[in-house]
Structure formats: structure tokens, C-alpha cells
Amino acid sequence: MKKPLIGLTPSHNTDSREQFLRLAYTAAVSAAGAIPVILPLEASREDCRQLAESFDGFLFTGGPDLHPFLYGEETHPQCGDVSPERDAMETALLPRIMELKKPVLGICRGLQTINVVLGGTLYQDIPSQAAQAVPIAHRQPFHYVSPAHRVHVLPDTRLMEICQAPVIRVNSMHHQAVKDLAPGLIVSGKDENGLIEAAELPDYPYLVAVQWHPEYLWQQDPAAAALFRSFADACRC
């Protein structure tokens, strides 16, 4: 049986002008039974149309902050570095994919990209902008393979179907988060303070996005492994 081909959006080092991707992403996709292919950072809008047609599914990976102009805000003093090239490529690619109703998995920045493309907004810096009754290190002080906080998985969501647990333990390497959820998306996971940690699009074959990094957890965590498996299965259809 042919394996599904999954396109992964690339990381961008704006100083050295290199594109790259952490092996954890490709390893997780391979382990789920698919073939990961890193997409070109400088794909034109026209190329994005052809790329959308050419792959069975797409993983929007983690990375730097999206430019706040994309959701109509000024740059907050605590906003991080941006990659205008990556912003342009990803915001051109996602609508083309969605026209074709192909499966999408978003991880970390991927969730934020999906939310912004669909019309939502972001907290540019959680510590200075989001109320936290329980202090939580969303930039965890230890390695990604160790979970840092819990996520409450909402009932009647695809994420619940995948994880089969109302509470999961996740790692956390973000200082931005979804503020206003885009129209059409629903929340599927929240932290202890109610901060959005996962979202999905119900009226769509498969679009699931999480704020954490399951690519560092799947080897020891059944929920993270199930997430990649469900994505790869959706890409096989």
C-alpha cells in the first residue's frame, strides 16, 4: 500500500537565510506511516496551488511569531522575531489546501497560523497579556520530552476521540496563544486558566491543531502517538 505524502512547512533562520526542520517532526510523521516532505519556504502563490494539489496532507509546524499586522494589531513590545517569508508562504498555502479539503495538522505556531488565516487573533505575549490565576510556564524550563502542564480536552471533539482522556499532560514552548478564536473553529483543549491549547474545524474532513509539541512526546505518550496516527489515517483516505 502506498504511504500518504505529507507536506511540512519549513523553519526559517532569518539570519543565515536557511530553511530547515527539526527531525522530531519528520520522525513522528514517518512513525505514523506516512512520508514527510519539507515544503519550500519561497513557494510563490501559484506554486502553493500546485503544492496543495500534490500532497495528501499538510503539517503546519512550530516556529517564530506571526507578524501582528496579519491580525490587525500593532507590534507589542514583547512580540518575538518574525519571518515575513514564512508568513507569506503559509498564509498563501492554507487557503489553497482548504479549497481541496485536504487534512491539516497544526502544531504550536501551526495552530496560531490557522487561527490567523481564518480570521482570529493572538496574544502577542502570554505573560504580559493573558490573565493567569494559576501561574503556568508555557515556556517550560526543561526539555520538550517532559510534559509541563495539563490540558483539559473538551467533550464531543475530535481531539477527545483521538486522546480518549479528559485531561492530558503536554509540553509547552510558546509565549503566544490564540486570543480570539477564528469563526468556524471550536476549542478542543484548554489549560487550567482557560487559555486555548487546541482547536479544530468541525465542518471539515480533518483539521486539528494543538499548541504543544506532540512530536517530542509520541514515543512515551499514547495521546501524542494517537494524534499523529489519526492525522496519517486521514491523509490515507
Q: What does the radius of gyration of the chain's CA atoms come to, in whole angstroms?
A: 16
Q: What is the x/- site pattern for Mn ion, positions 158-197, by CB under 5 A? A: --------------x-------------------------
176: three-class secondary structure by DSSP: coil
Q: What is the x/- site pattern for Mn ion, positions 135-154, by CB under 5 A? A: ---x----------------
Closer residue to Mn ion (CB): 12 or 138: 138
Q: Is 215 a residue of the active site?
A: yes
Considering 79, 108, 163, 235, which one is annotated as catalytic? 108
Smallest distance, Å, CB 174 to Mn ion?
A: 6
Question: Which amino acid is present at 180?
Answer: D
Smallest distance, Å, CB 213 to Mn ion?
A: 10
Smallest distance, Å, CB 197 to Mn ion?
A: 6
Smallest distance, Å, CB 211 to Mn ion?
A: 5
Q: Is 108 a residue of the active site?
A: yes
Closer residue to Mn ion (CB): 97 or 223: 223
First-last CA distance in the chain: 12
CA atoms of 208 and 72, how far apart (whole Å): 24
Of residues 99-138, which lie at the interface with Mn ion (CB under 5 A)? 138
Q: Is 49 in the site for Mn ion (CB under 5 A)?
A: no
Considering 67, 174, 215, 235, which one is annotated as catalytic? 215
Which residues touch 15 (CB under 8 Å, ≥6 apart)?
A: none
CA atoms of 207 and 86, how far apart (whole Å): 20
* # chain residues binding Mn ion, by CB under 5 A: 2
CA atoms of 75 and 234, how far apart (whole Å): 37
Which residues touch 223 (CB under 8 Å, ≥6 apart)?
A: 162, 163, 164, 165, 168, 214, 217
CA atoms of 62 and 176, how far apart (whole Å): 12
Q: Which residues are catalytic?
A: 108, 213, 215
What residue ranges bind Mn ion (CB under 5 A)? 138, 172
